[in-house]
Amino acid sequence: MKTVAGIDTGTQSTKVLIYDYEQQRIVAQASAAHELISRTDGTREQEASWWIRAIGSCFEQIPQEIRTSIEAVGVSGQQHGFVPVDAQGEVLYPVKLWCDTSTAAECTELTEAFGGSDALLERVGNLVLPGYTASKILWLKHQHPEVYDRMAKILLPHDYINWYLTGAYTMEPGDASGTALLSIEERTWNTELITALDPQRDLLACLPRLIDSREPAGRVTDRAAAEFGIPAGIPVSSGGGDNMMGAIGTGTVAPGVLTMSLGTSGTIYGYSETPVIDPNGALAAFCSSTGGWLPLLCTMNCTVASELTRALLSADLGSFDAQAERAAAGSQGVIMLPFFNGERTPNFPHGKGCIVGMDATNMKEENIARAAMESAIFGLKTGLDAFIALGYRPKEVRLIGGGANSPLWRQIAADILDLPVVIPQITEAAAFGAALQALWCMKGLSGDQEPISTTTDEHVVLDSAKGCSPSREAVSTYQRTYAVYSSYVEALTGLFS
């Protein structure tokens, strides 16, 4: 048996997947949950040690004979998290996560120091938003200067795990582009913005070496091998953010395909062979972790809305879907604005969840349930509209994340986006993508220089039984409902910005 391992450390849990690349099947997988530190000011944090403990728990659940078959490892991590470490690699402060909105003031300060939003889009490619890493660094400088002064390296979650496995500090362009400090077109650190972040300190020295996406981050150390029960010396690929690894795991490595993820956050992204910079700033101008670019829209509230609504209605997953299915497309005019955690797109750091459009005839539980599901897709349709405006011509959407398990949600997505929806057979796309990137890296080390698409074409299989096509009647209804949704968002912009 010859296998590769994918590690995916997300917001809610860590997952480890072991893939037999000769038999093209998963031979083992395990997961371990994380805690989350939340405060009313928008703080969302975790301890990096929790991730390491979770990885250890996952490997302990996998038989040793399978662990010894691993030939390469790839790591996927939640994007944007800020892991400050000292010269010995010790983490200095709890990790501020992608969903942390407590740094809105720092975003404004850094944007103004650079010359404004237009200057950022022109010379960097991305705005400085609360989700990204840059404002978190400035926040630490303001709030905990003594900790900031001891900081030797700035890492992202997957970079920290790579370091824990290999002892090497690296970043690759995909995840690095989510710091807001990378010049997207050149794939190099933007020294002007880094200087604006701290004119008195050479922060460039704190940023790891940028490596090519196919280049290994390093090899598993003896210490990590003993701790996790995996072979020492095997390569660890460059890894990437969870969306970049999800792109590999769904085969979104060539133009024309979009991947949409319905998880805690919602994302929609597509591969491009050239940089895609949205002049309106709706799409993040990210790089891919395969040598290209990955324009992406991310919302901070996706299954958040449905989970909160499900709890409100005291329903389990099955009964919640059945309840929502009793409502018609458009929920009889009931619309949910799902900004329960603030929001990243639109940029609503002070956003709140709202249910609007209710009257004496439509205030029903089934309408509220369906409106929660529809709201997640309405938020992501903004990204589809931006893709189309920039000339992208999508053929289909590959749906992943917990929401993809719901037949109703799949149909709602097809109807709102007016595109066919298909489902990959392996649904743990980020962990699987990390494993496939590890395989691609390992092939490259042996002299095989075939593109990543050769690997994904061979290993990514779609589940034809779960696909669905848009219904013309529902598409028409949702076009009208989406226009109303957009008008409510516009009306509340001044309150939530």
Known catalytic residues are 242
SS3 428: coil
Nearest to 217 by CA among 283, 293, 177, 159: 159
SS3 231: coil
- DSSP assignment string, 154-186: EE-HHHHHHHHHHS--EE-HHHHGGGT-EETTT
Q: Report which residue type is found at 131.
A: G
With a CB cutoff of 8 Å and minimum separation 6, the contacts of 145 are none
Q: What is the chain's Cα-based Rg? A: 22
The residue behind tokens 């792109």 is 247
CB 375 within 8 A of CB 336: yes
Peptide bond into 346 cis (omega under 30): yes
Beta bridge partners of 182: 189
Q: Given CA atoms 148, 154, 155, 156 in this order, what sign does their dihedral have?
A: positive
Q: Print the SS3 string covering 11-77.
A: CCEEEEEEEECCCCEEEEEEEEECCCEECCCCCEEECHHHHHHHHHHHHHCCCHHHHCCEEEEEEEE
Can you read off the two tokens belonging to residue 330? 């458009």
CB 22 within 8 A of CB 2: yes
